[in-house]
Structure 1
């Protein structure tokens, strides 16, 4: 049975809270692994830093077309030049952001905690639309349309010019949802969306599913254990899209043929990064693992950062950047996971995954700190 819009809204308001409580064990967390002294083997220089203020929501920054899009204090969406940190424009949202921002070089889109889809044209609000359910996933802006993936696992398309809804795709309701970004991206003329534990290829013109490829199947005896939604960030290279299924598996899918290439068991809540050779993720205990992108064979693992509540990693050249709950950014070798350097911020948790803008690595913290480094 597909819930009505009012039923979906009520269910999400209650069940989103339930799943977050259920996924946060009351037992005391293990002590984070102590940090050993590190001799920097990779030179890094602070390019710029700033502060946009604590936003009241932990929304990851995004980099699109040279702009760094961040949710700042006073319920604002800010666009900064990613190379220098210079402010380009600022738009008041009227509520905290609940999703990262999407941007196609002209049009930006973001979703607020009030369920408003806010669309910005050249630094000014163009229109906003109230959605029937909450959303935590970055909107995709492409082909004159704005695509939205809502927390009830429905997908909708809107005309980027006037906000008219073009189509909506709903799934049978499920009892619990995750309050974290899911997976949605454009691959050629296909909108690829994570729906529960599988990727679906959707016709962006008509809203019809073209194919599905399973990464994880629901398992367990209760609704929390059966949550297998795909979570951001993802690692896309051409037609290959690699993703993590919440607390279940990591796998890669051919997004043109619509088939699963491989899928490995690995418990974790943060997404993955990757390039042509490997996929890298951090699991629930803070163990960082690398897999061969083509086969899924494990290449190496690093347990020296256990229980440090790691972000998703970010591959950059010969190193991998990972943030933690104490505001450290760890740079480890892509070859074997050994530590190359350790960068400090303001001591508050790193939000989302580090992002790469050209040759600049940028992180945002819960206190609103922005830190950008450039390899020497």
Structure 2
């Protein structure tokens, strides 16, 4: 099995790895969004690359890409938990499954992009809209996950957590022990430990957890495409999709009618303090859909951006709330705006999930067990 593993960046200097990775990203970007990508998309790439350099994780991303290519080639299922799905670069490289850009249409022929600011998730856009220029059917996409939730602004080192099949642990240990990243950085080590739940290994800032049971995962996992056409089946199978089987009661969440609601539902049920009596009242009696409530740390970021905060300050405020602390700065405008209810919610929250984790897990579950095996 290990004979076909290709160390794609072995023998290269750190500078050469960066140059090669840049070219791979550029090729992937042009393949998806054409040779003249939208300005906002180009800015996203520039901002993320700068954040990767600040956090010194460019080599980690190269190693992840190398591993993802091998996993797909050998049809090994996996998914990235935590905040990794926030990165558009990781998505372009095929490491993560969900497109974190804001909701938009893009044309597969002329590669034009139309941003749709009235929607919370691109999968909820109409599937029948056509391009005015070439009449091609437009592709709806984008789950609106800010890159800051992974990369930050240099105050922390991002962590990349990848969940893998149990039967890969021995092979992966060999791969990691002979890895070029381990040889390139003297402080990088490979560790393997056993506890009551799982076997795990690590390489630099990448952690591997071996817990997937391949017998329960469709064999056509990597050949499936999760896109906007999957919304109906996602909503009809939401309990299986989210592993949520609590019976109906007066605290049950209502109104899971869109893909945005489905994603938010998963954030609400795993957060601490996001689903209390007040949130129940808002959902049940004031008709707030799950996607209109505070479900993720990312919701706090977007809220602060709407109220005029700079990206870095919004990221700082988000980190306060997600850890159970109140917003560090509250303006007079926020106190009197229509969404002033958010301020009270921030005081009640003890922990908020990253939206990227929810998106990636839902994508994984759709590919692993929900979508028919012949879906491509």
Q: TM-score range by the shorter chain?
A: under 0.3
Which structure has the larger Rg over C-alpha atoms? 2
TM-score by length of 2: 0.28
Where relative contact order (Cα < 8 A, 6+ residues apart) is larger, the structure is 2
TM-score, normalised on structure 1? 0.28
Higher helix share: 2
Higher strand fraction (1 or 2): 1
